[in-house]
Amino acid sequence: MSRKTLSPRLIAGIGLTALVGTGMSTGAAMATPTDPIQLAGCDFGRQLSTYNFADYDAYTQRVLDRSTGGFRDQFQRSSIVRRNQAEATHSSSEALSVECSTDTSDAAHAQVIVSVDDTTRSDATFGLPTSEHRVMRVYLDNVGGQWLTERVDPMSN
């Protein structure tokens, strides 16, 4: 399996996409998965999509705690830019529903399709919520028995 990481520009784009928000259809939350790979993928999707400008450093730490390798490094490097943008625009986001399905897996690596419906608020939306639906392929590595995100590829909806 090819192991690529996101460019810093693309990782910032994922964060900014979460900050700006566009239209989506809301859906009901599915039952919590029991598979450890799906649990990790869904948890990562929820944490990546839930932040508040007033406590952005806690958001960054939650995502870093669930990450490894290139994704973790790039997310950490872009954290100041994303925090400054969130604070300047008074942005927040909340995951409303997260759905996951395992695409491929073995003992060391897995790919999970993560679908997130979230709502964002910012100065650009005059504080009113806007909804977004995002789908991403999350690449997980088993690090010491814990599934951590190594790469994220946005997918078309």
pLDDT tens sequence across 112-157: 999 999 999 999 999 999 999 999 999 999 999 999 999 999 997 6
Distance of CA 95 to the CA centre of its chain: 10
Kindly report which listed range (22-26, 50-54, 62-66, 150-154) carries the lowest average pLDDT score. 22-26
Residue appearing with tokens 């598979």: 35
Q: How far apart are CA 135 and CA 123, in angstroms?
A: 25
Is pTM beyond 0.85? Reply is no
With respect to residue 122, please indicate whether it lies within any of the assigned structural domains.
Answer: yes
From 112, 119, 115, 113, select the one nearest 99 (Cα to Cα). 115
With respect to residue 38, please indicate whether it lies within any of the assigned structural domains.
Answer: yes
With respect to residue 69, please indicate whether it lies within any of the assigned structural domains.
Answer: yes
Output the domain CATH number for residue 49: 3.10.450.50
With respect to residue 1, please indicate whether it lies within any of the assigned structural domains.
Answer: no
From 30, 22, 11, select the one nearest 120 (Cα to Cα). 22
Q: How far apart are CA 14 and CA 75, in angstroms?
A: 10
Q: Residue 138 is part of which domain span? A: 8-21+31-155
Mean pLDDT of the chain: 85
Q: What confidence score (pLDDT) does residue 34 get?
A: 80
| Average pLDDT of the segment spanning 12-31 | 40
Q: What confidence score (pLDDT) does residue 12 get?
A: 41
| Total domains, the chain | 1
Q: How far apart are CA 20 and CA 13, in angstroms?
A: 10
